[in-house]
């Protein structure tokens, strides 16, 4: 009986010694496969992020060129036309009136130069973001206010820490542009409230308008091209979330929260 027990023990021990390397090899194989998959997933996520970043940069450039086009046509073009009309109407036979018109033409010309300098700053959209997200948003609000259609209240709470994340700043700036475009094109609002808040963990952007509002549940699929899906996608890419509150006739409140840096 004892001999049988010894034999069984020997057999079991032998099996353990034989199977242990197999299990170890299987574990190593599974671990390496998971590690490889994890590396591939990280590489895929980086590719998606890099592609989205490039797309964001191109869209900011496109938005910039559209703004410049409108400003050149509606503002600077008008100023230069007025300058030309003023100069052409000068009558040299009446020195006093001529001097007044020359002074007016000089003022118009100086105003045109000032507007051109502002456009020059706008051409460097990414540099604007590098100077600070809060200043980039402030500059964007400046162009909105120039239309005379909206009253904008802008508030910045907290301070961004020493560590920065230019990629997240760029994406959040583009999200801000998209939200402003939605308000301008769809909301029929008169007042816009913008709040940018920094904390040790995240950055939050809150935009509220007093416009027409909408029912998110009844929004037709074709109208989701308002940019809401794109905004949510971009926020998710940088680990953020989008919270939307809106009802017909009651305006819209949208909050973006992004881990930072």
Token duo for residue 126 = 């990414």
Q: How many domains does the chain have?
A: 2
Specify the CATH number for the domain of residue 164: 3.30.565.10
93 lies in the same domain as 202: no
Q: Classify residue 243 as left (phi > 0), alpha (psi -120 to 50) or beta.
A: beta
User: The whole model's pTM is what?
Assistant: 0.73
Do 86 and 185 reside in the same domain of the chain? Answer: no
Q: What is the pLDDT of residue 84?
A: 86
- Choose among 192, 178, 188: nearest CA to 248: 188
Residue 154's SS3 state is strand
Q: Is 97 domain-assigned?
A: yes
pLDDT digits (tens, 9 = 90+) for 2-28: 667 777 777 778 777 777 787 888 888
pLDDT at residue number 123: 65
Does one domain contain both 117 and 197?
no
Per-residue pLDDT, averaged over 245-252, amounts to 92
Determine how β-strand 191-198 pairs with β-strand 241-246: unpaired
Q: Distance between CA atoms of 231 and 169, rounded to whole angstroms?
A: 14
- Report the range out of 117-121, 223-227, 244-248 with the highest average pLDDT: 244-248
Is it the case that residue 207 has pLDDT exceeding 90?
A: yes
- pLDDT tens track for 46-93: 888 888 888 887 888 787 777 778 778 777 887 888 888 888 888 888
Within 13 Å, how many C-alpha atoms sit on residue 74's CB side? 9
Is there a contact between 214 and 248 (Cβ–Cβ < 8 Å)?
yes
Domain that holds residue 241: 150-261
pLDDT for position 224 = 55
- Same domain for 100 and 157: no
Closest CA to 225 of 177, 258, 178: 178
The reply to whether 135 falls in a domain is no
> Burial of 127 by CB count in 10 Å (0-12 exposed, 13-18 middle, 19+ buried)?
exposed
Residues 2, 43, single domain; the answer is yes
Supply the pLDDT for residue 98. 85
Closest by alpha carbon to 111, among 162, 163, 146? 146
To 5 degrees, how large is the angle CA 191–CA 194–CA 199? 165
pLDDT score for 127: 63
Give the domain-ending residue among 75, 105, 123: 123
Q: Quick check: 212 pLDDT over 80?
A: yes
Alpha helices in the chain (DSSP H): 2-71, 77-88, 95-122, 125-130, 133-146, 166-182, 228-237
pLDDT digits (tens, 9 = 90+) for 213-244: 988 877 666 555 557 888 999 999 999 999 99
- Is 30 within the bounds of a domain? yes
Task: Give the Å distances, CA to CA, from 58 to 34, 52, 171.
Answer: 36, 10, 12
Between the alpha carbon of residue 242 and those of residues 44, 179, 206, the distances in Å are 23, 12, 10
Sheet holding 252-259, edge to edge: 151-157, 191-198, 202-209, 252-259, 241-246
Q: 44 in a domain, yes or no? A: yes
Residue 10 lies in a domain: yes
- Are the C-beta atoms of 179 and 231 separated by less than 8 Å? yes
Flag whether 145 is in a domain. Answer: no
Indicate if 182 and 259 belong to the same structural domain: yes
């Amino acid at each position: 009986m004892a001999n049988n027990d010894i034999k069984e023990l020997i057999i079991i021990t032998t099996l353990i010694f034989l199977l242990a390397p197999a299990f170890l090899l299987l574990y190593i194989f599974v671990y390496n496969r998971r590690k490889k998959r994890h590396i591939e997933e990280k590489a895929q996520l980086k590719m998606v992020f890099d592609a989205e970043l490039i797309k964001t940069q191109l869209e900011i450039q496109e938005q910039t060129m559209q703004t410049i086009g409108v400003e050149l046509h509606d503002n600077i073009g008008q100023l230069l036309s007025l300058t030309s009309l003023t100069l052409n109407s000068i009558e040299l036979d009446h020195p006093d009136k001529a001097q007044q018109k020359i002074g007016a033409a000089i003022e118009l010309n100086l105003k045109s130069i000032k507007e051109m300098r502002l456009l020059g700053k706008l051409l460097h959209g990414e540099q604007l973001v590098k100077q600070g997200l809060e200043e980039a948003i402030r500059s964007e609000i400046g162009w909105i206010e120039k239309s005379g259609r909206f009253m904008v209240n802008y508030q910045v709470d907290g301070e961004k820490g020493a560590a920065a994340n230019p990629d997240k700043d760029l994406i959040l700036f583009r999200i801000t542009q998209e939200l402003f475009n939605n308000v301008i094109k769809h909301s029929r609002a008169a007042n816009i409230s913008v709040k940018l808040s920094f904390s040790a963990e995240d950055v939050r952007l809150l935009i509220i308008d007093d416009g027409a509002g909408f029912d998110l549940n009844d929004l037709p699929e074709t109208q989701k091209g308002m940019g809401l899906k794109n905004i949510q996608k971009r926020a998710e890419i940088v680990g953020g979330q989008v919270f939307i509150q809106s009802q017909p006739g009651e305006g819209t409140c949208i909050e973006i929260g992004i881990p930072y840096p």
